A and B are shown apart, each in its own frame.
Chain A
Amino acid sequence: MSWIRRHLLAFVAMAVLAILLVPNVVVALFSFNKPNGRYNYEWIRPSADAWLNPCGTPGICDALGLSLRIGITASVVATVLGTMIAFALGRHRFRGRAATNMLIFMPMATPEVVMGSSLLTLFIAMGIPSGAVTILIAHIMFCLSFVVVAVKARVSSLDPRLEEAAADLGAGPVATFLRVTLPLVAPGIAAGALLAFSLSFDDYIITNFNASPNSVTFPMYVWGAAQRGTPVQINVIGTIMFVLSVGIVLTAQFVSGRRAKAA
């Protein structure tokens, strides 16, 4: 009985995992397709054309470049600002903590379409034209809360005795921070930065409200292509992103695992 139950759980879990991964497999498969028309939804015949020429469709690599630039800038700024807030919340007692927690939480509890449209009304009221800058402002805003949550989890679980030990051994506040605190919090900061980058890189709804025809990000390009006919290059880039991210995450774990064993 317990044997059946255990394997039933494994079976259901694997089925759900399959649901999560099937779209990635389909995207990869269809990156080797050679469609007849503009729509890459039907398998016609195998071809590596798109892989040999990933920028072969006009605008696709410009959009990719813009998304990368915005994603990197937004995640750097959000990570710096968010880490500072996380340290304030995790290490200090101060007036207005509850209000601060609330303000951090609110963007995560607001639908994207509301955040995007409210920012649009602000930019309209202030007469700021939409473009890469307004996209960047919006992305920093919605990434911030996620960075705070990721870093704060790490800061809160930090053992204060380690820093006290450093101080007892004669390290000043700066040396303690740089050589003890920061390395211990680093995994949280890295997780926050990675999350911020992927949120920014992938955002369509908020971006769409704050973009102009001259600032087309990759998700906006994909959205536009979905109406006109999706080029196979989109599948190629989707596949590269998947392989690259899984590779990076697994390598990071492998490296940190080895370091942990060596220590």
Chain B
Amino acid sequence: MAEIAAAVPGTGHPLPPPHERRRNWVPYALLLPGLLWLFVFFVVPMITLGSQSLQEGDVDNGYTFTGNVSIYGQALDAYWPQLIRSVGYAGTATVLTLLLGYPLAYFIASRQGRWKYILLVLVIAPFFTSFLIRTLAWQTILADKYPVAGFARWSHFTDFLQFVGLTNNESLLSSKFAVICGLTYNFLPFMVLPLYSSLDRVDGRLLEAARDLYATPFETFRRITWPLSLPGVVAGTLLTFIPAAGDYINSRLLGNTQTVMIGQVIDAQFLRVLNYPLAAALSFVLLVLILGLVTAYVRRAGTEELV
């Protein structure tokens, strides 16, 4: 797990020289309240979540711990399509944010002074306005009677989407396409910002040197820019994929009954069906699945390449 922490900027860096080595209690005093908070309200809940999944009973009569592991089998059996779908949508959205975010991050990093700052503000601005309201706005943007859907029909893009199975009919809304659009849009800033901070640190002299040595622009990108931006790519994909896989706001607001993601199931099982053991088991499965995928990805992305 430590390698994941090392892959995220700012979590694993060399230590500056210690100034206060003599007063050894100081760091612990500084850490205590915050870490206690995280322990009680993050670590302990994970344990109660695991415990809840192995209890039997109901809301009215209370629960007793029975260690009934078969609930995991039931949960996977009933909801594996939603689980796979969540990973698929999140993965697709992550690839799309990378494809869309890279040119924008590269462009911002190549600007100077005031322009760079204004562009960054425009990327961050959506963070400060309600994302639910903006996601609802996509219902208007993709609506049948407005230009986007009109253009998609005129250019036969909707036919293409129907052909590849991303929509069921002539409209863009209430489809896989709309959900993936929403996810891509919502998490785009989470991709652009780490990419930008990596690309901004690339030494321009390296690019000049590559040009002097007759590297083509593509070769310069492949051999210099891309490797140097890898830490940003890894951080950006993690910051996009993890929350996207657990998200269900986009699938709820922009999708249909065939686009239900796992978060939606967990929400419903916890808050409406009140089947706590099943909901807790699903939540735990999602956590383990994501941690597994993330660990495999970070291993594969290669920490040695990232340094």
B49 contact set on A, CB distance < 8 A: 114, 117-118, 121
CA–CA, A94 to B138, complex, Å? 49
Complex partner residue of B107 from A10, A27, A235, CB under 8 angstroms: A10
Q: A23-B185, A93-B15, A113-B248 are in contact. Are A226 and B132 (CB under 8 A)?
A: yes
Q: A23-B137, A245-B128 are in contact. Are A122 and B38 (CB under 8 A)?
A: no
B206 at the interface (CB under 8 A from A): no
User: Chain B: interface residue count, which band?
Assistant: 35 or more
Interface string of A57-96 (1 = CB under 8 A from B): 0000000000000000000000001101101101111100
A189 at the interface (CB under 8 A from B): no
A208 at the interface (CB under 8 A from B): yes
Interface string of A111-141 (1 = CB under 8 A from B): 1111101111110110000000000011011
B52 at the interface (CB under 8 A from A): yes
Q: Is the CB of A105 within 8 A of B103?
A: no
User: Chain A: interface residue count, which band?
Assistant: 35 or more
A5 at the interface (CB under 8 A from B): yes
Q: A156-B16, A160-B16 are in contact. Are A100 and B31 (CB under 8 A)?
A: yes
Question: What's the minimum C-beta distance from A90 to chain B, rounded to whole angstroms?
Answer: 7
B287 at the interface (CB under 8 A from A): yes
Q: Is the CB of A117 within 8 A of B35?
A: no
Most central of A10, A13, A16, A113 by chain B CB within 10 Å:
A113
A113 contact set on B, CB distance < 8 A: 246-248, 262-263, 266-267, 283, 286
Q: Is the CB of A106 within 8 A of B16?
A: no
Interface string of B262-285 (1 = CB under 8 A from A): 110011001100001001100110
Count of A-B residue pairs with CB < 8 Å: 288
Q: Is the CB of B130 within 8 A of A144?
A: no
Complex partner residue of A109 from B4, B44, B185, B271, CB under 8 angstroms: B4
A49 at the interface (CB under 8 A from B): no
B213 at the interface (CB under 8 A from A): no
B73 contact set on A, CB distance < 8 A: none
Question: What's the minimum C-beta distance from A35 to chain B, rounded to whole angstroms?
Answer: 11
Dominant secondary structure of chain B at its interface with chain A: helix
CA–CA, A251 to B261, complex, Å? 41
CA–CA, A166 to B119, complex, Å? 37
Q: A88-B30, A205-B246 are in contact. Are A20 and B37 (CB under 8 A)?
A: no
Dominant secondary structure of chain A at its interface with chain B: helix
Q: A100-B35, A104-B11, A105-B5 are in contact. Are A245 and B27 (CB under 8 A)?
A: no
7 extra A-B contacts, CB within 8 A, seeds A111-B263, A114-B283, A249-B125: A13-B104, A27-B137, A88-B28, A112-B263, A113-B267, A144-B34, A246-B125
Q: What would be 8 A-B contacts, judged by CB atoms less than 8 Å apart?
A: A41-B140, A100-B35, A105-B5, A111-B245, A111-B246, A111-B286, A122-B44, A149-B8
**Which positions in A face B, CB cutoff 8 Å?**
2, 5, 9-10, 12-13, 16-17, 19-24, 26-27, 30, 41-42, 81-82, 84-85, 87-88, 90-94, 97-98, 100-115, 117-122, 124-125, 137-138, 140-141, 144-145, 148-149, 152-153, 156, 158, 160, 163, 195, 198, 201-202, 204-205, 208-209, 218-219, 222-223, 226, 230, 234-235, 237-238, 241-242, 245-246, 249-250, 253
**Which positions in B face A, CB cutoff 8 Å?**
1-2, 4-5, 8-13, 15-21, 24, 26-28, 30-31, 33-35, 37-39, 41-46, 48-49, 51-52, 100-101, 103-104, 106-108, 117-119, 121-141, 143, 145, 185, 188-189, 217, 238-239, 242-243, 245-249, 253, 262-263, 266-267, 270-271, 276, 279-280, 283-284, 286-287, 290-291, 294
The 7 closest A-B pairs by CB, nearest first: A111-B246, A245-B128, A13-B107, A118-B45, A92-B27, A81-B34, A88-B30
